[in-house]
Structure 1
Amino acid sequence: MKFFLNIIFLFFSLITVSQSASEAETLFNNKQYAKAKVAYESLLKRKPNDALNNYRFARCNYELKKYDLAIKHFELAGKRFPLKDLYLGELYFYSYQFELSVAAYQNYLTTLEPDDINIAALETLIKTSELGAKLIRRVEDITIVDSILANKKDFLRWYDFNKGLGTLRQTNLKSSIQKNTDLITFTTQRMDRKFYSDTINGSLNIFSSYKLLDEWTQTSEISKTINTKANENYPFLMLDGITLYFASDGENSLGGYDIFMTRYAASNQDFYKPENIGFPFNSLANDYMMVVDEQRHLGWFATDRNQPDNKVMIYKFKNNIEKKLIKNQDSSEIVLFAQLNKYKFVKEQKNQNLSLGVENNTNSEIQNKSLQSIIINDSIQYSDASEFKNPKSKQMFDALTQLEFAIKTCEDLLQKNRQKYNPKEYNEVQKQEIISMEQKYFELKKRYEYLKINTINNEILFLPKP
């Protein structure tokens, strides 16, 4: 009798599992990833090593932007599903694990037929990941002296460099091809040469012109070594007259605009092949408008990494006479430096007598980063970075204040967009903008909480035991 009951119990258990698997598959195929995730999570509790369940659970987390879980379960999916290597290549790349990204993409490449139309695109992804792997080994150690969140449309007003370096002018171009595009003009300190960006055949290139007597020469392309089929913009020539910084979103960029440097070679009357200046100046987002003042040992650059739409963070840093690299750090620490989630910081001594090199520079209210109060334990509470005993915690607290301001800015923009939205007048574009902004907001909040916990824990470990 007992044996018979066990058989019946086993039979119904198998039916239940089969139904659960079928329901999970239906949800997955219907792209109901949130519900499918719950279903596959339940199945994995019974069979944690099942390749199909791990793969689909990872896919659900990928679609829901739960990337850490996606990586973990794609790795557990084994070799049965080659497509998981394509996903892992992307996920490793965006988590700055570039060597793993290269390996994953190459694994996926071996599964394709020789005439597969996706091979060229995949080889480009491999090349970009290889570039990331090269650059992550040479992360520059920089010291930030100031940072400010600015409107993209007039971000140059916060570049308080000396007019002796030359002048920069920003014009906003709106067209059906290039939406809200910056056109930048740099004029040398002697006012005898200018470099500027302009559109040609639907893309941006850099051009130059010389001043002879009272007239400017005819515009000419700066160099075919610099200009490509992609976009080149944001030129700045240093006082030596040969070192040029600019930004490009071409094939040697990690993502969006990256900052490049090149020098003019008088011997062949052309510029050398430009070099990507690497981390932490560049990221997987847009990074541009590098200005370097060698006399004051200062530099400026702008980035939209982790920022709301139409906002950029401008970093002012101490320019190293000789390039210093981050050394003696584990890989996770190096990634933090590369992402500018960790850096040295010193407060700048303001010079009130500077003649600024940004045309039409006007004073307006600066959005200062507000310092927050943070509870370390039952008896210790800090409200200023100077109170931290652990230098690492102090750096993390500085990053917290930046995140706090970014969250508030994103929240304000989100609220304005929600108020403008009228559900009775259906607007898909506006709806998607709100959804995208909500995702950015919650990602910033999640990052903030994670960094806050680590800041507190680092400080507690550093404090003397009671």
Structure 2
Amino acid sequence: MKARTRYFIILCSLLSLAAQPSDAQVKGRQKPKPAQKQNALAVADFYPSAAKLMVIDSVVVDKENFAKHIPLRKEYGQIGKYTDIFNSATQTSHTSSAFLNGFDDLCIYNKTVAKDSTLLFMAEKIGNEWKAGRAIEEFADDFKDVDYPYLMPDGVTLYFSAINKKNGFGKRDIFISRLNTETQTFYKPENLGLPYNSEFNDYMCVVDDIDSLGWLVTDRHQESGKVCIYTFIPSDERWSDDENISEEKLKSVATLRSIKDTQYDRKLLDESLRRMNTHTSSDKARHGFRFVINDDAVYTDINDFKSDTARGLFLKLMQLNDRQADIEKKLPTLRKGYRSKGKGVDRKTILKMEEDLENIMIQKKNLEKKIRNAENL
């Protein structure tokens, strides 16, 4: 054991000497700060615990208006600048980003409280009046420049971005916290880890758990003023669970160096791409519907639902509607191809789709009943 320790110390010393730049290399640029080196090493230490995210798309946009490139469902809420969400020209107190929930009665926003210091505030609307916001001081001691909030539809799970020297990878990191509904305070936040975070600025994480899609906003490997938005499939799995993954590929997926390396399941990728491509158009169709609750109530907007349970069930109903529409669109072509023969159409595929369609109809009927029961309580 002592011999191995001596060997490790000697090896580290040699590597350290080999890594020292020459005078010519140093000239004209600053030497990296010790803290930056430590953060780079810390990132490498967390490669094995990286979440197994599959990235299905990415786009580079201007940092100042990246929110408009995230197709968040209206019933999930709105993200963006406070002034844009509330159509306000006042920028003296509410300086940066904000989140407004789908019911339009809760807002979490960034506000400057002192020089070079900002906090998140949470405000509620009672009736038609917004009450004074409460500073989320639970994050004040350990976090700097807290910003870019996103609250999940459960009203409990909060994502945000901040600088944390004790529990961060270098610059901005994305954290997750949960609301204690009894005390209306947030629990201690946790770093989302890799590949959500990096040595660069990681600004925002948005998750749509109905369509199983997520969006990660970061400036890693981007020029000044630009960010990359990765569209991904959320997952609780870790890459370390894959016994066959090489160290080189683990580094790649943990840092999102290669999108292709993250795409481990072709079928899952194709299904997610289809959901992503129909996401925006189907979202528009979710408003203007007619859903009969009882003899006296017909809902035409997602915000008409009073029960969170009913609202969540209705979102699942809309997802089933999307699946039904997709099958009904494909079936006629497949049947026609099968009848004409010679077009390689598998009869089993048609039968399976017809069976799926029948099951969807049964599920929809059950969901509609549960929605009405929840809303009529």
* Same-fold call, TM cutoff 0.5: yes
> Residue 238 in 1 paired to residue 159 in 2?
no
**Residue 355 of structure 1: how far off its partner (Å):** 3.6
* Structure-1 residue corresponding to 2:335: none
* Structure-1 residue corresponding to 2:185: 270
2:146–2:160 CA contact under 8 A, matched in 1? yes
**Residue 157 of structure 1: how far off its partner (Å):** 1.3
> Residue 256 in 1 paired to residue 167 in 2?
no
**Residue 182 of structure 1: how far off its partner (Å):** 6.8
**Residue 155 of structure 1: how far off its partner (Å):** 1.0
Residues 268-287 of structure 1: per-residue CA shift (max 9 Å, x gap): 43211101101111110001
Q: How does 1:9-408 map to 2 (within 5 A)?
A: 58-60=21-23, 63=26, 90-91=36-37, 93-94=39-40, 98=41, 129=42, 132=43, 135-170=46-81, 183-202=96-115, 203-225=117-139, 228=142, 230-251=144-165, 252-320=167-235, 322-326=236-240, 327-328=242-243, 329-342=245-258, 343-345=261-263, 346=269, 348-349=273-274, 350-351=277-278, 352-355=281-284
Mapped partners of 1:142, 1:89: distance in 2: 28
Residues 355-385 of structure 1: per-residue CA shift (max 9 Å, x gap): 499xxxxxxxxxxxxxxxxxxxxxxxxxxxx
Moved segments of 4+, more than 6 Å: 86-89
Number of residue equivalences: 246
The 3 A distance-change label for structure 1 pair 62 and 338 is farther
Question: Identity of paired residues, percent?
Answer: 27
The 3 A distance-change label for structure 1 pair 271 and 154 is same
Mapped partners of 1:88, 1:289: distance in 2: 27
Residues 123-172 of structure 1: per-residue CA shift (max 9 Å, x gap): xxxxxx3xx36533311111112110101111111101211111112258
Code of the residue aligned with 2:139 in structure 1: it is T
**Residue 288 of structure 1: how far off its partner (Å):** 1.5
2:95–2:112 CA contact under 8 A, matched in 1? no
- Between structures 1 and 2, the one with greater strand share: 2
Unaligned stretches of 5+ residues in structure 1: 1-50, 71-85, 99-128, 358-466
Mapped partners of 2:142, 2:185: distance in 1: 15
Code of the residue aligned with 1:308 in structure 2: it is E
Mapped partners of 1:64, 1:353: distance in 2: 56
The 3 A distance-change label for structure 1 pair 144 and 64 is farther
**Residue 214 of structure 1: how far off its partner (Å):** 0.7
**Residue 249 of structure 1: how far off its partner (Å):** 1.0
Mapped partners of 1:197, 1:190: distance in 2: 20
Q: Give the 3-state SS of the residue equivalent to 2:150 in structure 1.
A: strand
Mapped partners of 2:285, 2:78: distance in 1: 8
Mapped partners of 1:169, 1:356: distance in 2: 22
1:259–1:277 CA contact under 8 A, matched in 2? yes
Mapped partners of 1:285, 1:294: distance in 2: 26
**Residue 221 of structure 1: how far off its partner (Å):** 0.4
TM-score by length of 1: 0.47
Mapped partners of 1:57, 1:225: distance in 2: 39
Residues 71-115 of structure 1: per-residue CA shift (max 9 Å, x gap): xxxxxxxxxxxxxxx988855753xxx2xxxxxxxxxxxxxxxxx
The 3 A distance-change label for structure 1 pair 263 and 304 is same
The 3 A distance-change label for structure 1 pair 269 and 55 is same
Residues 211-247 of structure 1: per-residue CA shift (max 9 Å, x gap): 1011011111023236656110000000111100000
Aligned-CA RMSD value = 3.4
Mapped partners of 2:125, 2:104: distance in 1: 8
2:253–2:262 CA contact under 8 A, matched in 1? no
Code of the residue aligned with 2:129 in structure 1: it is E
Mapped partners of 1:199, 1:62: distance in 2: 41
* Structure-2 residue corresponding to 1:74: none
2:95–2:111 CA contact under 8 A, matched in 1? no
2:119–2:137 CA contact under 8 A, matched in 1? no
Mapped partners of 1:304, 1:314: distance in 2: 9
1:226–1:274 CA contact under 8 A, matched in 2? no
Unaligned stretches of 5+ residues in structure 2: 1-13, 85-90, 264-268, 287-377
**Residue 335 of structure 1: how far off its partner (Å):** 1.6
Code of the residue aligned with 1:354 in structure 2: it is D
Q: Give the 3-state SS of the residue equivalent to 2:239 in structure 1.
A: coil
2:36–2:170 CA contact under 8 A, matched in 1? no
Q: How does 1:445-456 map to 2 (within 5 A)?
A: none
The 3 A distance-change label for structure 1 pair 169 and 227 is farther
* Structure-2 residue corresponding to 1:122: none
Code of the residue aligned with 2:257 in structure 1: it is N
The 3 A distance-change label for structure 1 pair 261 and 62 is farther
Identify which of structures 1 and 2 has the higher relative contact order when contacts are C-alpha pairs closer than 8 Å and 6+ apart. Answer: 2
1:153–1:172 CA contact under 8 A, matched in 2? no
Mapped partners of 2:211, 2:123: distance in 1: 28
Residues 269-321 of structure 1: per-residue CA shift (max 9 Å, x gap): 3211101101111110001111111111011111111101101100111122x
